[in-house]
Amino acid sequence: MASHCWTFLWTVLLFNAMGCIQSIRCKPKSFRDSIVILELNATIDSNPTSIDETSGVVLRYRTPHFRANARILVPPVAAKETWTIGWIQACNHMEFFNTYGDKGMSSWELPDLRDGKIQAISDSDGVNYPWYGNTTETCTVIGPTKKDSKFVVSMNDNFYPSVTWGVPVSDSNVPQLSSIFRDQSFTTWLVAINQATSETLVLQTIRWRMRLDIKVDPEKPLGQRAVLKEPVAQEQPQILGKNEPIPPNAMVKPNANDAQVLMWRPKTGDPVVVIPPKY
């Protein structure tokens, strides 16, 4: 009797195992399971921020570039579907102060981010939401395909602003700028999105930060006023071992450039909006 039970149990287990093996073999892989990241790199250039004092109206500086690139393999896509793969970026922290001695400071601000109303704001190019750009930054796979698709998606980002020597709410152009401080943090995602269903697959998450501290002596001659204090070299980006979800505001309008506002915050008196948001 015991041997019959064992035989029956073995038959059931074997049948179930064979059924599982067969179903795995027969079921086509989903896009999520088939896409492969062959190589991924994220760096910030090692050169320090450069300072340009050629203008008597503004100081310009150029930070090193953040660069990300990924080599992707997509095996044949059986279904009739279109996927876009590329980079999405959001700013999740911004401090950007330009101090003018004892007069006060100008400050580029993202009000909703500053006030904690949102976790992050889109850093899209302002046209191709939610993508950072649509040249090297994205690639599209249109199924069905019969062969492997291999491609590279890449992006880069840096700051190249102009800061007035004089107080921005004054008609005077007398140099009073005494320091520039900037600290911004970003999250960058490598993402695949189904264009028909909007299914979104986060393939990789990167965090990076750009910091800046420039001291300025407005009494010195043009070309000798500004000195980069720190950092000379930026922290390198973090490629996270566990992906982070994309906050809703990182996917939609407005982007950071359109949402930012330039405030003048005097030592005494009320703040003044110098440049309002564009949206």
For 101-124, write each residue's pLDDT tens digit.
999 999 999 999 999 999 999 999
With cut-offs at 50, 70 and 90, classify the pLDDT of residue 81.
very high
**Percent of the residues in the chain that have a pLDDT greater than 70, as a whole number:** 90
Quote the pLDDT of residue 22.
Answer: 38
Quote the pLDDT of residue 248.
Answer: 95
Residue 83 has pLDDT above 90, yes or no: yes
Quote the pLDDT of residue 25.
Answer: 43
Q: Which amino acid is at 134?
A: N
195: CB partners within 8 A, 6+ apart: 81, 82, 83, 84, 140
Per-residue pLDDT averaged across 263-267, rounded?
97
**Is the distance from CB of 237 to CB of 43 less than 8 angstroms?**
yes
For 41-65, write each residue's pLDDT tens digit.
999 999 999 999 999 999 999 999 9
Per-residue pLDDT averaged across 163-178, rounded?
94
Quote the pLDDT of residue 34.
Answer: 87
C-alpha to C-alpha distance for 199 and 176, rounded to whole angstroms: 52
User: By mean pLDDT, which of 39-43, 79-83, 257-261 is the weakest?
Assistant: 79-83
Phi and psi (nearest 5°) for 69? -145, 150
Residue 186 has pLDDT above 70, yes or no: yes
Query: At 262, is the secondary structure helix, strand, or coil?
Result: strand
With cut-offs at 50, 70 and 90, classify the pLDDT of residue 256.
very high
With cut-offs at 50, 70 and 90, classify the pLDDT of residue 1.
low
**Is the distance from CB of 88 to CB of 137 less than 8 angstroms?**
no
Quote the pLDDT of residue 14.
Answer: 41
Q: Give the HSE-up count for residue 31: Cα atoms under 13 Å, Cβ half-sphere.
A: 27
Three-state helix/strand/coil letters over 85-112: EEEEEEEEEEEEEEEECCCEEEEEECHH
For 142-161, write each residue's pLDDT tens digit.
999 999 999 999 999 999 99
For 8-39, write each residue's pLDDT tens digit.
444 434 434 444 343 334 445 677 788 999 99
User: By mean pLDDT, which of 23-27, 96-100, 104-108, 181-185 is the weakest?
Assistant: 23-27
For 221-243, write each residue's pLDDT tens digit.
999 999 999 778 899 999 999 99
Residue given tokens 């500004």 in the structure block: 226
Residue 193 has pLDDT above 80, yes or no: yes
Quote the pLDDT of residue 177.
Answer: 98
Quote the pLDDT of residue 28.
Answer: 53
Q: What is the DSSP string of 233-259?
A: SPPPPEE-SS--PPPGGGSSSPBHHHH
Residue 93 has pLDDT above 60, yes or no: yes
